[in-house]
């Protein structure tokens, strides 16, 4: 049986389409999750994701969130904690092997990078969550900024810019 030129062209075109869309379909949605028991909350909720199979900008994905809240002048502890993650095809949550955090100074207290562990969003294991350990030292507005980054996570470099609106009373 001889294949027609038109059919051969159509099959070749379908193969090219399948090959060109496969990498995009295999790209993960990038998620961010925070722990539930923390004094400060995300203004947008406890979870968000890139809403795209491939974050805009190719291999770099940057987003900004704002945390708001207040603590007493005697507060010492984790203000919030979060982690980047994606979900595999079998429903398992996977986080980057290494995430890096950095914080600016606050007028009302000392900040150091810290971690905690908690159940992951898929309830299939435990994650390490990252956040600022804060020790209050004065009353007032203690706003500061933070960054949480992960490199080469499913081929993406991830950066979360954190704006923290903190009142110490």
Q: In what helix (H) or strand (E) does residue 135 lie, and over which residues does it extend?
A: strand 126-136
Tens place of pLDDT for every residue, the chain, 169 residues? 444 333 333 333 333 333 333 333 334 566 766 666 677 765 544 445 554 455 555 588 888 888 889 999 999 999 988 888 888 888 888 999 999 999 999 999 999 999 999 888 888 889 899 999 999 999 999 999 999 999 998 888 999 899 999 999 9
**CB contact at 8 A, 79 and 109:** no
Rounded CA-CA distance 134/112 in Å is 7
Dihedral of CA atoms 115, 121, 126, 130 in degrees, nearest 10, equals: -10
Backbone angles phi, psi at 83, to 5 degrees: -155, 145
């Amino acid at each position: 049986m001889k294949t027609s030129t038109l059919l051969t062209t159509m099959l070749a075109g379908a193969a090219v389409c399948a090959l060109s869309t496969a990498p995009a379909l295999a790209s993960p949605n990038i998620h961010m999750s925070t722990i539930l028991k923390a004094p400060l909350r995300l203004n947008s909720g406890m979870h968000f994701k890139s809403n795209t199979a491939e974050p805009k900008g190719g291999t770099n994905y940057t987003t900004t969130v704002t945390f708001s809240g207040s603590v007493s002048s005697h507060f010492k502890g984790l203000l919030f904690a979060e982690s980047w993650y994606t979900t595999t095809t079998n429903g398992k949550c996977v986080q980057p092997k290494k995430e890096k955090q950095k914080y600016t100074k606050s007028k009302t207290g000392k900040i150091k990078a810290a971690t905690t562990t908690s159940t992951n969003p898929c309830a299939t294991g435990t994650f390490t969550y990252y956040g600022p350990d804060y020790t209050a030292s004065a009353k007032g507005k203690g706003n500061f900024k933070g960054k949480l980054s992960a490199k080469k996570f499913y081929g993406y470099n991830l950066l979360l810019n954190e704006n923290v609106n903190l009142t110490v009373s």
